[in-house]
Structure 1
């Protein structure tokens, strides 16, 4: 497997190890544990991730095509030459939907895709990853990287964020992108009121994966609410989402908001308050995937919060290999848990 070149140098350095961990989760969940001997290998002066498999069925190729950092896949012949393996990913739109936005604190889009993949694979929807319209919720959505990846997959997507500037920037970007790409859609921003008081604003988008789908009434939907994530239960019904995916504040200045923005910059404080709100929104068999900065919160403490909220944390081998350095202040890891 040749790794997709990453724009961010630091993430590129970690991408080989992260891909091995992600491949391990694919193997454990939907590939029957058949992927073996996963390792980093140099071929012709280029780094590859290599692995062994008894055979590579069409169904296995369908899953592997969606690895977050896969660029190309080859079979290694007995004489050592490489034979390309054709792959078709789930992506339904041009990748500028997730790559064109540039702003301080943006989560690397390859990492976002990996976190979404691993979370879906850890849910009861794993086998349906490539064939069903799942519903994804990012309760800390910022400017929508996770939501855009969900749309790329043809999923329905919902998000929340308290930051007004992020909400407005994302709404403006998405509407402009949809028009420029000539995607059939409707998009409206409206105030949400309860008891004659405005409790937030809401972006509602309905779009077709193709013009013919839209005309036939086969549409995907996206909703973003500009409000405090701790009020998620006021906007979304219980047992609504297949997966919840979020990048928690890192406890450092860039990319996170202080108390004046309504969020603690410490991930433990946020998860302590928010998981009791988010968990009821998840369907049985659904999964939660959260990334956080291990420099400010130990994994054991994060696991404890998840467990107290009735979630089953995934702790087998590949799930413990996602830690990587983002910069000198941030060592990022992920935790994934299933709702029984």
Structure 2
């Protein structure tokens, strides 16, 4: 029996298990199959851009010529094999604006250069995936004056080569709630930009610049020595943080020395995740609302001291973290004894 004779619902179920290459092959078979395949091709768009190619322009033209394609898009991923040019970033901005139902946007730079990729490798991917009910607080309402954008989750793992383009992007998509940045240098953003940001993964210097004036509740970052006492300039903004994850920068053994004092200012902190080499100080945690703690290389004596000194800790003394990265804008946590 020919594929084209199946009802559209059946074709969609079958096509959902096919690769992009197979979708493209189906598009060449018949008009009916092309229509079904396009439904799925434009739901999750992934483009790899190599030097000298015009793939972004082609995508923009395809979306401009068919409004239905633009309306289907929910996720857009652009992978660069080179440092993106200002014009390429502008084209990406134009593409994102044309996708009224876009929810997730990823821009990646495929490079192993540690200087270019300074910041967070990917600490969020190792975090637990189900959040306790006490952390599921009501999401703040979206700003009434926000532009008509449905985008809430942005991963920008590429150098910000043109600050104006980045600023225009985050200013237009004012409903962004989750932002993951690799760049350590970002333009100055007025507090009116990104007014609904709740989850932030970025180098600490970026975190400290974005915290003031925004309802950021979850932070994932890297401790680096050069930040030192910069955090004291925005210490009042730390009050909004409820979930804090921190890893130590590679080769920077002193980058976390100031961390305990900073954590002490997170009066509403409920979940804390610290990587190898970062020590926990019980007296600091007593000033927070800490209930869940994940730390490494902690002696049994230190564990006893922690639970004796911090009565708000509610997890078992011995437990494993069942964690898988979540694709939602707010990943969740769960402890399992």
The two structures have a TM-score, normalised by structure 2, of 0.29
Compare relative contact order (CA 8 Å, sep 6+) and give the higher one, 1 or 2: 1
Structure showing greater radius of gyration is: 2
Higher strand share: 1
The two structures have a TM-score, normalised by structure 1, of 0.29
